Structure 1
Amino acid sequence: MLKVQEIRELIKLVDQSSIEEFVYENEGSKIQMKKNNGVTVVQPAAQPAAVAAPVAVQAAPVPAPAPQAPVQAVKQEAPKAASVETEDTNLHKITSPMVGTFYASPSPDAEAYVKAGSKITKDSIVCIVEAMKLFNEIEAEVTGEIVEVLVKDGQLVEYGQPLFLVKPE
């Protein structure tokens, strides 16, 4: 199975290319990525019904309400991020490498990996994003200080959605 960093690189390469669809199969695992209206959708082979529904809605351009939901979510997040960015334009965003559920700690009774004011290194684990019962540890990839946590524990996150704002050192 591919590591999270390798999947991130594949997503970036597909996103930057003119490829509309990419499929990767290895040792019984399958990763399928499709671009729809400029959005890259990562669709693993065996999906639970709850995850399959949003992918089907994104693939079908007919329903009008489906595109409105992501737009509203972006509008709600934009003012929060913009207010912090106006204070310091040198902030780095740690984004979600996949669609899944955000977890701030390794278990429900444990403390969060990081919070506002936490010092981190490139190798620091900042959170977990669960996708299809796989818990993917997300590394900071930058050394600095967490300025703001942009999502709540247990919240669903999209690919590329900002999770943390970091003041790099």
Structure 2
Amino acid sequence: MRFTPTEVQGCVVVDLQEHSDDRGFFARAFCTTEFAEQGLDTMVVQANLSFNHRAGTLRGMHRQIPPHAEGKLVRCIRGAIVDVALDLREDSPTFGAHTMVELTADNRRALWVPPYVAHGYQTLADSTEVLYQVSGPYAPEGERGQRYDDPAFGITWPHEVTVVSDKDAGWPDWDGRPLP
């Protein structure tokens, strides 16, 4: 695997190193040794699959608050998304910064989103599926979010948002106060 840091501290693009022959290719998609060598969490406690009917669907921006650490390795296994990680860790040197990475079934790229960083994505194709490996159990009492179109963070989504849940549309704008 190849690991490429992004604008958000601790957020890393993970590309496959394909070994090809006449049959196709083989590549390691996850390895605890390689992740640990990069300083990334190697614990996987659950895997989640998200299916999205329509292009333009937006999910996010979700995060967990301490002590409910939940890092995510996100990969699009059917269709295409733009994946966004927004640093809302008050003590981070990249607080308020975000990174946007295109993840597709064709490019087989993944994005590691560290704990306490908000995460969301927009689908670029109909019938898109996203697979997450998650380092901590989901804790409803620790769930927080920010609005996907909060002007404080300047995220420019590539397409019109066609589908978004009431919950995701209802997350608050950041008011400048420290986040929990």
Q: TM-score range by the shorter chain?
A: under 0.3
Which of the two has greater strand per residue? 2
The structure showing larger relative contact order (alpha-carbon pairs under 8 Å, at least 6 residues apart) is 2
What TM-score do the two structures reach when normalised by structure 2? Answer: 0.24
What TM-score do the two structures reach when normalised by structure 1? Answer: 0.25
Which of the two has greater helix per residue? 1
